[in-house]
Structure 1
Amino acid sequence: MTSLLGSISLVLTVMFLAYMTFILIPYVRHRKEQPGDPALFEWHIFVPCRDEAAVIATTIARQRERFPAAHLWVIDDDSDDDTSAIIQAHADLDPFVHLVQRRRPLARTGKGDALNTAYDHLCRWLPADADRDRVIVAVVDADGEMAANALAAVASDDCFGDPVVGAAQITVWMKNRDDRTPYPEKGRMANAFARYLIRMQDVEFRTVILAMQSLRSKTGTVGLGGNGQFTRLSVLDRIGEGYGAPWHGALLEDYELGLHVILAGYENRQVHDTYVAQEALPSLRRLLAQRTRWSQGNIQCVKYISDIVRSRHFDSSGVLECLYYLFLPFLQIIGLIVIVLTLVFQGAAIASDPAALEGLVDHAWAFVLLGLLFGIGPFAIWGVLYKLRCEPGATWLQAVGWGAGLFFFVQYILISVTRAMLRVALRRNGWAKTRRNAETHVVGPVAVDV
């Protein structure tokens, strides 16, 4: 049994190192993109909200200041706070701000349904002769801050200037990455740990996740995120005709939309040279809840494997990339089982033969070396790249610390994927809202645990 576990562990390690290499190469080779002319397109920004009174006024003001030609469609999903009133107050004064009001029992049925409601409102609002190929729909979180160059970046010849491109995703940053006291009312240790979580989320999104997208740019499988996604209205129309609605019910409705765009015969683009900034979560509890939802959404999208394999719009490399990503939660569970069983068998061996412990102690240096080389080592690279590309003013010591910290940070996967599997087994597919950092009280349920 121990030899079998060792073989499985070796295979998983080789797969992990190979994948890290495959995403690293296109990431470091990326070249600067040339912006386009946003005036060539008509822009509509969807902002889904539920109990967002703490942030929505600032978001509306900022988006209108930075993108005066863009229409804001702010969706209130039957909030219990003053979100709807705040949106309506802006809409009364500004014809470019539109309130999309949902009411229970039709409200609070998922982000995809909220976005579909905004899509229906937009379609009724547009004139019949609108050039729907030129109408671009963006999705931004209620706390999202898009960079001022965002529309120009996605209007480039390589993005929506190319008629084959149906959707695009911009880079995600964490806007509170330099917050020294995420919890002013708490002590030094609590704030230090919160700063660590926040920084690791910024490192993760701007290196590892962006590198994954860089590989997908080569395989034709770029994924869309829930914040900072852009889609042609004509493509949303086509998806709606084929699947009943543009957005669907997976907990990863954004990745699901990206798959539908490709299955419809269009391409997705990752745009590196602009960003949308969002709040990182300083709470481990909320972070685990968020990542559990992501893992469960990933599992839900496994149902598209047959469509991907049969589609002529996915080549061999694209199929392999999608299969790896969609099966990743299952590989992670296998890895967790291997770790647990290895510890159990090692413990049993030591219990039956205390001399076995001496052998482990004698070879402890080898285990430490292997851990540094194949465990922390691959993540240390991302700390260095993060310094070079994102935080050039940081010290090399910080870079090494960020890389090592990322290794420990990603261990959340062991918890989140286990919870996700349990939720799937129990058929728990609903999800509560993730509380914003600025919210001190929320009337409805929030995603703090599973």
Structure 2
Amino acid sequence: MFSSPFLLAFPFFLLLCFLLYWAGARHAYLRRPVAEPGNADALDWHFFVPCRDEEAVVGTTVGRLRADHPRAHVWVIDDDSEDRTGAIVAELAEEDRRVHLVRRHRPNARQGKGAALNAAYDELNQFLSKHTDRERVVVCVIDADGQLDPDALDIVSGPAGFGDPETGGVQVSVRMRNAGEPRPLPDRGRVRNAFARLLVRMQDMEFSVSNAGMQLLRGRTGSVGLGGNGQFTRLASLDRIAAAERRPWQRGALLEDYELGLHMILTGDRISHIADTWVSQEGLPHGRRFLTQRTRWAQGNLQCVRYAPRIVSSRHYGGKGVLETLYTFLQPVAHLVTLALCAVMFAFLGLTAAENGPGEAFGGMLALWPLVLALAVVSVMPFVLWGPVYRRDRAPEASFLAALLWGLALWLYAYHLFPASARGFVRMLRGRNGWAKTRRNAEKVETGPVAIEA
């Protein structure tokens, strides 16, 4: 019963899809053209910085944005913080008329990042003149610990970005600026710090090359996704989404950034990804915080599956874009199915071993070891091959052997998707759709819940 064709074919089908997707992403990354700069002065720039209890980082973030991009306005949304976030920003706003504080209070506050961004959108609308050319106004979302490339606005203004009038959104590459930190956990021992260094390195490798390749592939299929950090959008594009959906950022999914991108494409705007400029953030050295973050992302991905009928029927999505988006939607589902099939397989092997002995249960599998070995190599090599690419672009001081070992570690790192997808699915079943704020590395570890139930 358990040796049905589906059970045998499904893992091969998933592997084939993964290999095709990886090959496309790698080709798109390695063959990408250099992004030409444009004229940033031709556009008006407004940074949205959502904050909740961010006193440890918000002052540095606002100061750097104002120093590196003096023509831009910075809108800090204080989502009813319980620390000095609001007071710090208020002091900065008194000294700098281009710094604005958007205050939110409960019960309206702490309802998720999307709700906070909508509040800033409303404040910006009141601030701008009714005669403003909203096609020339660009909103950029920056995390409270985000640091943007000083040249980013020029590159985003170029022909690959807002220099094209059909472009409604641009996502830039994301980096982990603490990837080379020798002791991410200063108060912990060598073993914990070794794990923390590797975890941060994997996040940097994932975002700066693997995810960048995926986004560049999406650029070819017309399905680029927006991220929560380094997300640029035309104000006019946000207006079009608000006209269709009542507000730009929705409360339906925990991935409010990716959901915004879906709405942008559905309303006819194009999104591009530019890998030649970047925003940096702090990678998470704590395994528990990391898993909490990825559980939220997996759950948000599952929540976005409901858009599948609209995407399939939309005239703004081509066939390749539909296939790529459905593949993205189904990743957490595939992880859940794989876990279920593994559980069924091991249960069947256990029953067979109990009835007929271990030889009968495992003899057939041992006879297939060449096939198993070949599949293992094919599964691992795509991750390993990202290692030299990452070394070339992000860590040229590392040895070639270290790059290969990082690639091997990336393969092991990818397995976090299985528990994250399972936890996200369980949270959905239990109706737990609350938004969880990830603690910054500079924050003290305190007990108590971090998820805010919506």
Q: TM-score, normalised by structure 1?
A: 0.96
| Distance 1:445-1:50 versus aligned 2 partners, 3 A rule | farther
2:58·2:85 contact (CA, 8 Å) conserved in 1? yes
Are 1:385 and 2:386 matched, yes or no? no
1:210-248, CA deviations, whole angstroms, 9 ceiling, x for partnerless residues?
A: 111011000101000000000000111111111000001
CA shift for structure 1 position 129: 0.7
1:406-431, CA deviations, whole angstroms, 9 ceiling, x for partnerless residues?
A: 01111111100000111111111112
The separation in 2 between residues aligned to 1:425 and 1:302, in whole angstroms, is 15
Are 1:403 and 2:404 matched, yes or no? no
Are 1:296 and 2:299 matched, yes or no? yes
| Distance 1:38-1:442 versus aligned 2 partners, 3 A rule | farther
Greater alpha carbon shift after TM alignment, 4-13 vs 54-63: 4-13
| Distance 1:358-1:104 versus aligned 2 partners, 3 A rule | closer
Are 1:353 and 2:354 matched, yes or no? no
The separation in 2 between residues aligned to 1:257 and 1:167, in whole angstroms, is 10
CA shift for structure 1 position 366: 2.7
CA shift for structure 1 position 31: 1.8
Structure 1 partner of 2:270: 267
Are 1:436 and 2:440 matched, yes or no? yes
CA shift for structure 1 position 158: 2.2
The separation in 1 between residues aligned to 2:197 and 2:375, in whole angstroms, is 26
Q: Number of residue pairs matched?
A: 448
SS in 1 for 2:435: coil
1:231-268, CA deviations, whole angstroms, 9 ceiling, x for partnerless residues?
A: 00011111111100000111000001101111111100
1:376-432, CA deviations, whole angstroms, 9 ceiling, x for partnerless residues?
A: 212101112111222222111111111000011111111000001111111111122
1:290·1:447 contact (CA, 8 Å) conserved in 2? no
SS in 1 for 2:211: helix
2:74·2:99 contact (CA, 8 Å) conserved in 1? yes
1:51·1:442 contact (CA, 8 Å) conserved in 2? no
Aligned CA RMSD, in angstroms, stands at 1.7
Unaligned 5+ segments in structure 1 are: none
2:141·2:228 contact (CA, 8 Å) conserved in 1? yes
Which of 396, 417, 434 pairs up with 1:413? 417
State the 4+ residue runs in structure 1 displaced beyond 4 angstroms: 360-365, 441-444
The separation in 1 between residues aligned to 2:96 and 2:382, in whole angstroms, is 50
SS in 2 for 1:99: strand
1:172·1:277 contact (CA, 8 Å) conserved in 2? yes
1:220·1:268 contact (CA, 8 Å) conserved in 2? yes
Query: AA paired with 2:116?
Result: A
Identical counterparts, % of pairs: 47
2:15·2:379 contact (CA, 8 Å) conserved in 1? no
The separation in 2 between residues aligned to 1:297 and 1:36, in whole angstroms, is 34
Structure 2 partner of 1:2: 3
The separation in 1 between residues aligned to 2:448 and 2:268, in whole angstroms, is 40
The separation in 2 between residues aligned to 1:422 and 1:129, in whole angstroms, is 49
Alignment of 1:96-115 (within 5 A): 96-115=98-117
1:348-382, CA deviations, whole angstroms, 9 ceiling, x for partnerless residues?
A: 33332232367368548536623541222121011
Structure 2 partner of 1:167: 169
CA shift for structure 1 position 23: 1.7
2:80·2:106 contact (CA, 8 Å) conserved in 1? yes
Greater alpha carbon shift after TM alignment, 388-397 vs 162-171: 388-397
Structure 1 partner of 2:28: 26
Query: AA paired with 1:268?
Result: I
The separation in 2 between residues aligned to 1:338 and 1:182, in whole angstroms, is 38
Structure 2 partner of 1:157: 159
The separation in 2 between residues aligned to 1:442 and 1:166, in whole angstroms, is 41
Structure 1 partner of 2:398: 394
CA shift for structure 1 position 70: 0.4
| Distance 1:256-1:383 versus aligned 2 partners, 3 A rule | same
Structure 1 partner of 2:147: 145
2:296·2:436 contact (CA, 8 Å) conserved in 1? no
The separation in 2 between residues aligned to 1:238 and 1:79, in whole angstroms, is 31
The separation in 2 between residues aligned to 1:339 and 1:381, in whole angstroms, is 27
Query: AA paired with 1:31?
Result: P
The separation in 2 between residues aligned to 1:355 and 1:50, in whole angstroms, is 58
Alignment of 1:275-286 (within 5 A): 275-286=278-289
Which of 361, 374, 379 pairs up with 1:370? 374
Structure 2 partner of 1:334: 337
Unaligned 5+ segments in structure 2 are: none
The separation in 2 between residues aligned to 1:125 and 1:330, in whole angstroms, is 43
Which of 307, 324, 339 pairs up with 1:321? 324
Query: AA paired with 2:431?
Result: R
1:289·1:447 contact (CA, 8 Å) conserved in 2? no
Alignment of 1:171-190 (within 5 A): 171-190=173-192
Query: AA paired with 1:2?
Result: S
SS in 1 for 2:392: helix
CA shift for structure 1 position 306: 1.4
